[in-house]
Amino acid sequence: MTTRLLLLSDTHLPKRAKALQEQVWRLVDEADAVVHAGDWVAESFLDELESRARRLIGVAGNNDGPALWARLGGEARVELDGVRIAVVHETGAAAGRERRCDERFGPGSAEPCDVLVFGHSHIPWDSVTPGGVRLLNPGSPTDRRRQPVGTVMTATADDGQLRDVRLVETPR
């Protein structure tokens, strides 16, 4: 079985945008699971996404208040179609990111994962650590910060492999 994923982060609703673009809502509707790496800002957006997504995995970020932290926490882990996924909001500076993430999420860690989804920078990122952990930051669909357009990512989990990772532009 193949699991279609939508990766989101840093939506900052309704501060950076009034609403999520229809294009992104269509991707939510098509996904088997939506992963959100924090900075929701409004609990009402979490409620809206929860009601529409088939499955939602999310964490709180540095711009989220106590209610979102109470509901989501700062780290999530899930296995989807054999792919072990961890989600956090921040991983620190780009310099040294692979090493730090290997220490925390790689093969020698207490709970190794195959994929780490993170946010915070609003800048898309796709790399693999020396230990083999795929690091993915989908950017932000609503606050492009130094990027030409907003972005999200789609991917599929299939028989223990993450496949078809694609950066999707989300112009306003």
pLDDT band at 17 (very low <50, low <70, confident <90, very high): confident
Q: Is the pLDDT of residue 137 over 80?
A: yes
Burial class (CB in 10 A: 0-12, 13-18, 19+), 159: exposed
Residue 91 amino acid letter: T
What's the CATH number where 137 sits? 3.60.21.10
- CA 41 to chain centroid, in Å, comes to 15
What residues contact residue 104 under an 8 Å CB cut-off, 6+ apart? Answer: none
Inter-residue contact 70 to 43 (CB < 8 Å): no
Tell me the pLDDT tens digit for each residue of 46-99.
999 999 999 999 999 999 999 999 999 999 999 999 999 999 999 999 999 999
Q: Name the domain count of the chain.
A: 1
Beta pairing partners, 78:
85
What residues contact residue 3 under an 8 Å CB cut-off, 6+ apart? Answer: 32, 33, 80, 81, 83, 156, 157, 158
Q: Domain range holding 85?
A: 2-169
